[in-house]
């Protein structure tokens, strides 16, 4: 099998993606029996057609379900995850972002990942759920174990160990959730966990198993995507100082710049699907019951869809990237991730001047095989002004 999972390849998979997309956009690896789709149209088709490409491969999470169960779950969860709820988080996210930077800004150096981009979304999610401050280290440990589930794709001892650890953490999380749900039923709070407990569609509530699945999904997806989006934005600007200068001169371009980071260095590089029946993709037959990887990171560099796709351009328009998926499984957390990135990058641009990488060593990829971004990102900079208190 082409080793898509080596550290070197995960740092920069795009030259290989370019070659495969042009020569074999549908690729089968006989040793693992995995199929991979590399082009934009093929990936978008797979993400858009749940009647042929099933999501039922993995834990009992929203993203691993098909209609009609998926339709019910999503309708329930959307009522507990409204745009108003997200918008109301903005002042608190800004307060957390500034407080984290206050801890390191005077030093003129920090690990952008450990000191900022990892704790910020974790703190936001914990507060959204209503989790006590003392429990956040436990959150981080759970998240690390869930991330390791991507290794089950490779088989062997590593896959078995990851599955065993996930099962143990699921049991631990379920016991924790039982206590938290009992508290909400006696004394409801203004938090997401209470909204999930109380949410109803046609008189039907979420089961505890379904709440647990969303709890795990939010813990992982809500943190990891935003962490990598912030880190990858920094890497993009280090590599493209002209675009950083352009953004500093016109801060109103930040929302467009975030979309370009999502396309150019997609935090999520591939998504699982399972074929329900034999299907032709670009003239090749993929048999029923086969695991297929939709290579989102490759699709977002497809020259058939994006002009000069290897160029990082913060004014790119249109920019119909697939970084948050497509179709019925489009990421519910996308608005939150965009909001956190906008606040975090605004604070960094204002308070971190003349930034640069503090190490010449190649960065180490994060644990999960399907995500793109560094574990650590040591940087040096000239400290900017201290931010005013949040009103």
- Specify the pLDDT at position 387: 57
Q: Would residue 352 be called left, alpha or beta, if left means φ above 0 and alpha means ψ between -120 and 50 degrees?
A: beta
Q: Is pLDDT at 174 greater than 90 in this prediction? A: yes
The C-alpha atoms of residue 23 and residue 36 are separated, in whole angstroms, by 13
Q: Is pLDDT at 389 greater than 60 in this prediction? A: no
- Return the top range by mean pLDDT from 50-64, 137-151, 377-391: 50-64
Contact 55, 70 (CB under 8 A): yes
Contact 351, 388 (CB under 8 A): no
When pLDDT is cut at 50, 70 and 90, the band that residue 98 belongs to is very high
- Specify the pLDDT at position 220: 77
pLDDT tens-digit profile of 283-325? 999 999 999 999 999 999 999 999 999 999 999 999 999 999 9
pLDDT tens-digit profile of 249-291? 999 999 999 999 999 999 999 998 999 999 999 999 999 999 9
- Specify the pLDDT at position 139: 84
The C-alpha atoms of residue 180 and residue 374 are separated, in whole angstroms, by 33
When pLDDT is cut at 50, 70 and 90, the band that residue 380 belongs to is very high
- Min mean pLDDT across 75-79, 95-99, 123-127 is at 75-79
- Specify the pLDDT at position 78: 81
As a whole number, mean pLDDT of residues 159-188 equals 90
Does the predicted model carry a pTM greater than 0.75?
Answer: yes
- Specify the pLDDT at position 133: 76
Catalogue the E-assigned strands of the chain: 26-29, 34-37, 53-54, 109-111, 200-201, 204-205, 271-275, 279-281, 284-286, 291-294, 352-357, 378-383
């Amino acid at each position: 099998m082409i080793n898509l999972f080596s550290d070197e390849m995960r740092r920069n998979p795009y030259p290989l993606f370019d070659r495969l997309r042009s020569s074999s956009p549908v690729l089968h690896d006989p040793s693992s029996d995995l199929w991979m789709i590399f082009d934009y149209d093929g990936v978008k088709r797979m993400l858009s057609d749940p009647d042929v490409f099933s999501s039922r491969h993995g834990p009992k999470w929203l993203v691993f379900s098909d209609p009609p169960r998926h339709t019910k779950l999503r309708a329930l969860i959307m009522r507990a995850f409204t745009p108003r709820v997200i918008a109301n988080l903005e002042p608190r996210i800004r307060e957390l972002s500034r407080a984290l930077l206050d801890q390191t800004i005077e030093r003129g150096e920090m690990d952008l990942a450990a000191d900022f981009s990892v704790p910020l979304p974790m703190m936001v999610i914990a507060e959204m759920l209503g989790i006590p401050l003392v429990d956040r280290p436990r959150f981080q440990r759970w998240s690390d174990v869930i991330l390791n589930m991507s290794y089950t794709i490779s088989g062997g001892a590593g896959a078995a160990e990851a599955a065993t650890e996930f099962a143990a953490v699921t049991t631990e999380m379920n016991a924790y959730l039982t206590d938290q749900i009992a508290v909400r039923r006696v004394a409801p709070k203004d938090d997401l966990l209470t909204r999930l407990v109380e949410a109803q569609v046609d008189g039907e509530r979420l089961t505890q198993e379904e709440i647990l699945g969303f709890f795990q999904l939010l813990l992982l997806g809500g943190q990891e995507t935003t962490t990598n989006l912030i880190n990858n934005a920094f890497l993009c600007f280090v590599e493209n100082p002209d675009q950083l200068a352009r953004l500093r001169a016109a801060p109103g371009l930040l929302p467009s710049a975030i979309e370009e980071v999502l396309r150019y260095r997609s935090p999520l590089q591939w998504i699982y699907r399972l074929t329900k029946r034999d299907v032709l993709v670009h003239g090749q037959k993929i048999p029923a019951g086969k695991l297929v990887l939709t290579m989102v990171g490759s699709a977002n560099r497809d020259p058939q869809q994006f002009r000069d796709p290897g160029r990082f351009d913060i004014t790119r328009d249109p920019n119909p990237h697939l970084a948050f998926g497509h179709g019925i499984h489009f990421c519910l957390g996308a608005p939150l991730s965009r909001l956190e990135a906008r606040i975090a990058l605004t604070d960094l641009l204002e308070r971190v001047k003349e930034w640069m990488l503090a190490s010449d060593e190649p960065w180490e990829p994060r644990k999960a095989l399907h995500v793109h971004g560094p574990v650590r990102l040591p940087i040096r900079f000239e400290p900017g002004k201290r931010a005013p208190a949040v009103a």
